[in-house]
Amino acid sequence: MARRDITSGNWAAAEAMRQINPDVVAAYPITPSTDIPMKFSEFVADGLVDTNLVTVESEHSAISACLAASISGARVMTASSANGVALMHEIFPIAAAYRAPIVFALVNRSIGAPINIHCDHSDSMAERDMGWIHLYCEDAQEVYDSMIMSVRIAEHKDVLLPVFVCQDGFITSHCFEPIEFLEDEEVKNFIGERDPMFPLLDVDNPVAYGSLALTDYYFEIKRQQIEAMKNVRKVYEEISEEFYKLTGRKYPIVEAYKTEDAEYVAVIMSSATGAVKEAVDKLRAEGHKVGCLRVRMFRPFPWKDIAEILTGKKGIAVLDRAASIGAGAPLFTEVKGALYDSGTIVPTNSYVYGLGGRDFFLHDAEKAFTDLINGDFSPEERYLGLRE
């Protein structure tokens, strides 16, 4: 029987890790993800897991230890944020190329300077081309569920890629809300045991990792990663459907909220979705046909789903919690590309919001919609909540 409790996104991630009981967790705490390894270390100290918890001297060492353990055949998890994620950067593409199915709780925080410990998506967006799967969660329940599902997704033989499970720092990570937890045995049965391919410690079948690949084979290795990423969607849908049958909780790749008859749609990710949905309800009560499209899976990018939902609309607002200095904001650029590839032309505005943890209010969401309703379209990037 499922149990209910009130907890934070960080502790929900840690509880999922306890139930998963990974072989290895290597971590170096950094705000706002600190609660995850801290809470998990309590589980280790109390004997609730038999995980080898490796406390290292830096985030770079943490991800290096995770990579080594994963290719050795272990089930591996970790967590980090912001500058810690940046310090790990060198190892991220290596983990993907080695096909190491690491599950990584990434608590989004801005990358300084100036130093800022609050939320935006600059840390995960900096890693969007490193070959990792990216899932963005709206609330703590989704964080908990995604950590569990990601083990199966990452370890699937047709995927074998690491996964970022992203949540908004100090918003989802530290706010307490009701969560429904699975029983330990249910989680154990759902994830099963890892069956590694080509583990480094299989001495009877020796393999090499870290070999030099020059012009002869490097391209082919990258192509294998590309094809594996293409398999993610099918595997995700199968596993999320199985999870839905177990829990009654469904997590589509993209979540469409009142978009079917909408003339104007706002596209967003993560915790700020709630404010956009509230704006949708308010404006619909006033007679405006508006809707919200939340992108849950950012890598691989679900361009077909997005294009299908947005085709035929009169206007689109794409809201990014990250800036791409010198280019279009990340989500905006991807959405525009999806529309172009589908042969669809819809006026689309780009909005950057919430950098460094700046609050995102109902009136900010309304502003994006009213621009569309009033026909105020412009190729210039706009800013919500910016001090003038």
pLDDT at 388: 75
Question: What is the rounded CA–CA span in Å between residue 64 and residue 56?
Answer: 10
Do 300 and 273 meet the contact criterion of CB atoms below 8 Å apart? no
Do 59 and 30 meet the contact criterion of CB atoms below 8 Å apart? yes
pLDDT at 171: 98
Do 230 and 240 meet the contact criterion of CB atoms below 8 Å apart? no
pLDDT at 1: 62
pLDDT at 112: 83
List domains and CATH numbers for the chain: 3-247 (3.40.50.970), 254-384 (3.40.50.920)
pLDDT at 2: 79
* Phi, psi for residue 274 in degrees, rounded to 5: -60, -40
Question: What is the rounded CA–CA span in Å between residue 191 and residue 160?
Answer: 15
Q: What is the dihedral of CA 186, 187, 190, 191, to 10 degrees?
A: -160
Q: Kindly report the number of other CB atoms within 10 A of residue 185's CB atom.
A: 9
* pLDDT tens, the chain, 388 aa long: 679 999 999 999 999 999 999 999 999 999 999 999 999 999 999 999 999 999 999 999 999 999 999 999 999 999 999 999 999 999 999 999 999 999 999 999 999 899 999 999 999 999 999 999 999 999 999 999 999 999 999 999 999 999 999 999 999 999 999 999 999 999 999 999 999 999 999 999 999 999 999 999 999 999 999 999 999 999 999 999 999 999 999 999 999 999 999 999 999 999 999 999 999 999 999 999 999 999 999 999 999 999 999 999 999 999 999 999 999 999 999 999 999 999 989 999 999 999 999 999 999 999 999 999 999 999 999 999 998 7
* pTM score, whole prediction: 0.98
Do 357 and 118 meet the contact criterion of CB atoms below 8 Å apart? yes
